């Protein structure tokens, strides 16, 4: 009975957050369009959704009327013509003001002239602490704290005592990654790559979970973030290769010569396609979930523009579907972290696959000799 009450309370709380978030979206769309003219801009669902999943130079939580509740973030821009500039994003006043010759337009910092027009002759390099960057740093701190806390527990209690608290929650996940991801794909070399695989898994998982919190940044839904993870995986894969791997790439055995001419560029391209698939898979899945949830919330205001009764009448349906997708997204957060980690282990294992076969053959020969 208590569990049902807690679940009902969570659903009610999340529903309230969705309604409040939706109201904030509507307020943003209306507030940014009028500029004193007293006219409310028509709600644009596509623009509102893309705005909420995109990166930003300020941490926006919600809006009440014309009051924006945000945390300004540091702006760091460099221009060869103007030098280095550092200031708070609050000076932009949500994109309505110009500061030190720069303005914020659609979350992009542009150099402007004295009359306020864009100065195309000035090149701007943006190194700002954006919403995604700040949340990624928070995720790193949380990851280090979790691992240090678990390690401290092992130092105090040893491996013989039953785990408790945070250690009890994290240990099964570590064991799962070791036994079901690292060992099957990496064989006797699993211990060498296990720290990297655990880091990737928990880092993606923490960012996925943070991205589900209202007002948080969708870091794993940023193509630059997933591209960097894929690039690191590619570097690890390339450093794990051996002569047997490259021999199969540049001269596939047991294949006719003319077919080899076709396979060689395909196999070589496949080396880079594999990490690219990791990048796109994580980005697409995490972005799609956020878009679906925000789309259901937006339906309330789309129906509301037709009729107030229709808007309020469709609200329970929209919230019900949003909560359902949200619960699925919690599951997807774990699944996508597992898939990225597992495929990384598979690709690393393929890089030295020939070495496995050589070791196995050597072991069989040794056994026969004895």
Q: Percent of the chain beyond pLDDT 70?
A: 82
For residues 103-114, give the mean pLDDT. Answer: 85
Classify strands 58-64 and 74-79 as parallel, antiparallel or unpaired. Answer: unpaired
The residue with greater pLDDT, 119 or 50, is 119
The answer to whether residue 249 scores a pLDDT higher than 70 is yes
Q: Whole-angstrom Cα distance, residue 140 to residue 119?
A: 37
pLDDT at 289: 86
For 79-92, give one letter per residue: b (16+ CB within 10 A) or e.
Answer: beebeebebebbeb
pLDDT at 364: 42
Q: Whole-angstrom Cα distance, residue 204 to residue 335?
A: 10
Between 193-207, 308-322, 344-358, the lowest mean confidence (pLDDT) is in 344-358
Asked if 177 and 194 count as a contact pair (C-beta separation under 8 A), the reply is: yes
Between 5-9, 163-167, 212-216, 249-253, the lowest mean confidence (pLDDT) is in 5-9
The answer to whether residue 58 scores a pLDDT higher than 80 is yes
CA Rg, the chain, in Å?
26
For residues 154-181, give the mean pLDDT. Answer: 84
The residue with greater pLDDT, 93 or 18, is 93
pLDDT band at 332 (very low <50, low <70, confident <90, very high): very high
Interior angle at CA 15, CA 14 and CA 19, nearest 5: 115
The residue with greater pLDDT, 176 or 5, is 176
The answer to whether residue 206 scores a pLDDT higher than 90 is yes
Paired residues of 58 in beta bridges? 72
Q: Whole-angstrom Cα distance, residue 143 to residue 149?
A: 10
The answer to whether residue 190 scores a pLDDT higher than 50 is yes
CA distances from 275 to 103, 210, 334 (A): 36, 24, 19
For residues 315-340, give the mean pLDDT. Answer: 90
Q: What's the mean per-residue pLDDT of the chain?
A: 80
**Residue 191, both tokens:** 């211990």
pLDDT at 60: 77
Q: Percent of the chain beyond pLDDT 90?
A: 27
For residues 322-331, give the mean pLDDT. Answer: 89
pLDDT tens, position by position, 137-156:
999 999 999 999 888 888 88
The model's pTM is 0.80
For residues 316-323, give the mean pLDDT. Answer: 87
At residue 44, φ and ψ (nearest 5 deg) are -110, 105
pLDDT at 308: 82
The answer to whether residue 37 scores a pLDDT higher than 70 is no
Interior angle at CA 76, CA 74 and CA 81, nearest 5: 155
Other C-beta atoms within 10 Å of 338: how many? 18
Q: Whole-angstrom Cα distance, residue 293 to residue 184?
A: 36
3-state secondary structure labels for all residues of the chain:
CHHHHHHHHHHHHHHHHHHHHHHHHHHHHHHHHHCCCCCCCCCCHHHHHHHHHCCCCEEEEEEECCEEEEEECEEEEEECCCEEEEEEHHHHCCCCCEECCEEEECCEEEEECCCCCECCCCCCEECCCCHHHHHHHHHHHHHHHHHHHHHHHHHHHCCCCCCCHHHHHHHHHHHHHHHHHHHHHHHHHHHHHHHHHHHHHHHHHHHHHHHCCCCCCCHHHCHHHHHHHHHHHHHHHHHCCCHHHHHHHHCCCCCCHHHHHHHHHHHHHHHHHHHHHHHHHHHHHHHHHHHHHHHHHHHHHHHHHHCHHHHHHHHHHHHHHHHHHHHHHHHHHHHHHHHHHHHHHHHHHHHCHHHHHHHHHHHHHHHHHC
pLDDT at 280: 93
């Amino acid at each position: 009975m208590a569990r049902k009450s807690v679940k009902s309370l969570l659903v009610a709380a999340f529903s309230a957050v969705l309604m409040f978030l939706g109201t904030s979206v509507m307020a943003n769309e209306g507030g940014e369009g009028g500029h004193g003219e007293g006219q409310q801009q028509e709600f644009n669902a596509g623009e509102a959704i893309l705005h909420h999943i995109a990166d930003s130079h300020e941490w926006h939580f919600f809006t009440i009327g014309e009051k924006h509740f945000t945390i300004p973030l540091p702006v760091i821009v460099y221009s060869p013509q103007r030098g280095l500039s550092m200031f708070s994003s609050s000076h932009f006043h949500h994109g309505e003001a110009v500061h030190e010759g720069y303005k914020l337009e659609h979350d992009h910092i542009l150099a402007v002239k004295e009359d306020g027009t864009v100065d195309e002759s000035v090149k701007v390099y943006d190194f700002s602490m954006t919403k995604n960057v700040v949340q990624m740093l928070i995720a790193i701190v949380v990851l280090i704290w979790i691992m240090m806390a678990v390690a401290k527990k092992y130092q105090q209690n040893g491996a013989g005592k039953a785990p408790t608290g945070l250690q009890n929650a994290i240990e099964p996940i570590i064991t799962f990654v070791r036994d079901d991801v690292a060992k099957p794909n990496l064989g006797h070399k699993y211990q060498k790559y296990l720290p990297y695989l655990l880091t990737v898994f928990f880092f993606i998982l923490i960012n996925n979970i943070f991205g589900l919190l209202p007002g948080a940044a969708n870091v794993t839904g940023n193509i630059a973030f997933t591209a960097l993870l894929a690039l690191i995986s590619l570097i690890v894969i390339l450093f794990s290769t051996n002569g047997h791997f490259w021999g199969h790439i540049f001269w596939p055995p047991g294949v006719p010569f003319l077919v080899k001419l076709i396979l060689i560029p395909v196999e070589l391209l496949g080396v880079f396609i594999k990490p690219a698939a990791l990048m796109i898979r994580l980005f697409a899945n995490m972005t799609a979930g956020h878009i679906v949830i925000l789309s259901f919330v937006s339906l309330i205001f789309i129906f509301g523009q037709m009729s107030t009764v229709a808007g309020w009448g469709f609200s329970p349906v929209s919230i019900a579907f949003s909560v359902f997708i949200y619960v699925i997204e919690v599951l997807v957060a774990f699944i996508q972290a597992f898939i990225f980690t597992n495929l990384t282990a598979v690709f690393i294992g393929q890089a030295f696959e020939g070495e496995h076969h050589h070791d196995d053959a050597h072991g069989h020969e040794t056994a026969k000799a004895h």
